[in-house]
Amino acid sequence: MMMSFKRQRCNFLKQVLNCGEVGRKFVALMSSTLKEMRNGGVSAGVRDLYVEDSSTEDELITPGTFSVASGCTLLRDPRYNKGLAFTEKERDAHYLRGLLPPAILSQELQEKRMMHNLRQYEVPLHRYTALMDLQERNERLFYKLLIDNVEELLPIVYTPTVGEACQKYGSIFRRPQGLYVSLKDKGKILEVLKNWSEKNIQVIVVTDGERILGLGDLGCQGMGIPVGKLSLYTALGGVRPSACLPITIDVGTNNEKLLNDEFYIGLRHKRATGKEYAELLDEFMHAVKQNYGEKVLIQFEDFANHNAFDLLEKYSSSHLVFNDDIQGTASVVLAGLLASLKLVGGNLADHTFLFLGAGEAGTGIAELIALEVSKQTKAPLEETRKKIWLVDSKGLIVSSRMESLQPFKKPWAHEHEPVKGLLDAVKAIKPTVLIGSSGVGKTFTKEVVEAMSSLNEKPLILALSNPTSQSECTAEEAYTWSKGRAIFASGSPFDPVEFEGKVHVPGQANNAYIFPGFGLGLIISGAIRVRDEMLLAACKYIYIYIYIYDNVDLTSLCLGKKHKNIYLCFDAAEALAAQVTQENYDKGLIYPPFTNIRKISANIAANVAAKAYELGLATNLPRPKDLVKCAESCMYSPVYRSYL
């Protein structure tokens, strides 16, 4: 006679409990998980069912389930493979004898060896492919490498090298690193999402490949961008790799070179538009929400202007959506502008801004600047926009062009006679700040920089377009043409420049300062929508951190009992700014180093989460008493675990 299910369950639990402390932990964890599932949610994001990511290094954890992965299967699983770091006992327990050389190398020694090997490559793309290979065979070592060497490796996994990787993605493609949703999948996108092995997804980065960096339409090969972004979500923001999903939506490409390339991996037809495109995106958005729930963050990445604004506006009221090109870039640039006031003087409202480029990045930055000035001065938003001017391909955006302007450009059409070129616009507007977001290289010419220098003692010049080849000017050009007076930052990294015996350190207005911590803040709060106030909360921490670095415990200063008022952070920063050495300011730094980026991300996450709770958009209740500690406790650690 067959044993009843209830009796089988009781016998199983008795056997588990007989396993001692590990068994008791397992039962307690599963009981807690089932209770949370019945309540329709989990606290602080997705629960790690096997405590594999949140356990200490010394805890004895079997990867996956009680059915132990062994032998070649274990070595071929990138999430649990440790290579030569498996101990003698682990090799016996998991049938690894003979499958590995006898030497045992610690994770630290493996990291040292890998960095040595990477530095032998002279071509950045070769370093990129080597890192991607490592990610596919040993996930924890990959992230340990990236976290510990972030300043050296960030330009490889992110801009500028990722741009070249996307251009050549068809040639270097090895195995799928994300999901490909194409027009062929229309009507069955939900089925496609279900094919992804991980079910508890917290963050999706999605692109349609139409405007990859400043490189244009790369179609299906834009996948390198979501993959790179999500690597940074994990390394810099601590979001677990298993909770991240890169997606490319393939609707074709208008890039003739790709269409004629025998190695191209996408659909070979012109890009779909109009109703066909809208219906596919709509099905995708609804399928994501149906499959992963209300709280999954969908980050739009590198969509062309004509789609980016529409998608953000359409889905911001029904989904948790974020556009890094519009909102993330705006946040990090505003943070740099606030920091630069210590160098150029005045308040934000005292300055006049001129943009080259009126696309999603330019207008997004402009709007956030106007919003911050409005909050500071209590002036209407329509009034604060008047100090911000934009130049597009047809010249200065002025009111006489109103009828022909796209909707997102119309708020920036001010009263002024038409002006054609950037140089003439600089002379006419007399800006104190020049910002490039055009995607066109070499547009900040010597004449433009000299004109800015003639108008300002310390011209603030931000050449933001990526990759390096598309930068409006180089750091060397900015410092040389301004005779060393410019305050310069760029989208891609540039080396320090020596001019007349003084070393100038260019800043990098890198979105990686913002989006990993921003996403983590949404996750730990269980936010269901994104609001501008959250973006301001994110960028203001960067501004504060530039001044005080690690000299002061910001947690106790800004995020204690009075965390609800974000502007208290400004009071603290102003009071302590005098304690910072003048050396940093003398170098022209307006962004902090990346060496402490995970600490920065944790504090950004706490600020964003605090704002989500304040706005009533958080669902993970009750609110944690210490949001910084909550963020840090949720962050993924790449340290190897014991598998016994």
What's the 3-state SS for 415-473?
A: CCCCCCCHHHHHHHHCCCEEEECCCCCCCCCHHHHHHHHHHCCCCEEEECCCCHHHCCC
What pLDDT is attached to residue 638? Answer: 96
- Is residue 121 annotated as part of the catalytic site, yes or no? no
Query: Which has the minimum average pLDDT: 148-152, 352-356, 485-489, 556-560?
Result: 556-560
Secondary structure element (H or E) that encloses residue 567, with its range: none
The SS3 assignment for 86 reads coil
The C-alpha atoms of residue 268 and residue 276 are separated, in whole angstroms, by: 16
Provide the pLDDT confidence category of residue 540 given band limits of 50, 70 and 90: low
Whether the pLDDT of residue 559 is over 80: the answer is no
Provide the pLDDT confidence category of residue 23 given band limits of 50, 70 and 90: low
What's the whole-number mean pLDDT along residues 533-547? 71
Contact 508, 491 (CB under 8 A): yes
313 is in an annotated binding site: no
Residues of the chain with CATH 3.40.50.720: 342-511, 514-634
CATH code for the structural domain at 107-318: 3.40.50.10380
323 is in an annotated binding site: no
Marked catalytic residue, from 80, 144, 180, 229: 229
49 or 436: which carries more pLDDT confidence? 436
Residues of the chain with CATH 3.40.50.10380: 107-318
Secondary structure element (H or E) that encloses residue 299, with its range: strand 297-300
211 is in an annotated binding site: yes
Whether the pLDDT of residue 613 is over 90: the answer is yes
The C-alpha atoms of residue 262 and residue 264 are separated, in whole angstroms, by: 6
Marked catalytic residue, from 80, 128, 143, 158: 158
Topology of domain 342-511, CATH: Rossmann fold (3.40.50)
- Residue range 300-320, pLDDT digits in tens: 999 998 899 999 999 999 999
Whether the pLDDT of residue 18 is over 70: the answer is no
401 is in an annotated binding site: no
Pairing assessment for the beta strands 395-396 and 388-392 based on DSSP bridges? antiparallel
Query: Which has the minimum average pLDDT: 26-40, 193-207, 401-415, 518-532?
Result: 26-40
pTM of the shown model: 0.82
Query: Which has the minimum average pLDDT: 173-182, 418-427, 571-580?
Result: 571-580
- The residues near 83 (Cβ < 8 Å, ≥ 6 apart) are 75, 100, 105, 110, 137, 138, 141
302 is in an annotated binding site: yes
> Rounded to whole angstroms, what are the CA distances from 223 to 196, 266, 280?
16, 11, 18
Whether the pLDDT of residue 486 is over 50: the answer is yes
Q: Looking at domain 514-634, which of 3.30.300.30, 3.40.50.10800, 2.60.120.260, 3.40.50.720 is its CATH number?
A: 3.40.50.720
The SS3 assignment for 620 reads coil
DSSP character at residue 271:
P
- Is residue 25 annotated as part of the catalytic site, yes or no? no
Whether the pLDDT of residue 477 is over 90: the answer is yes
**Could you please report the per-residue DSSP string of 38-77?**
HTT--TTSS--TT-TTTS-TTSB--SSSSS---HHHHHT-
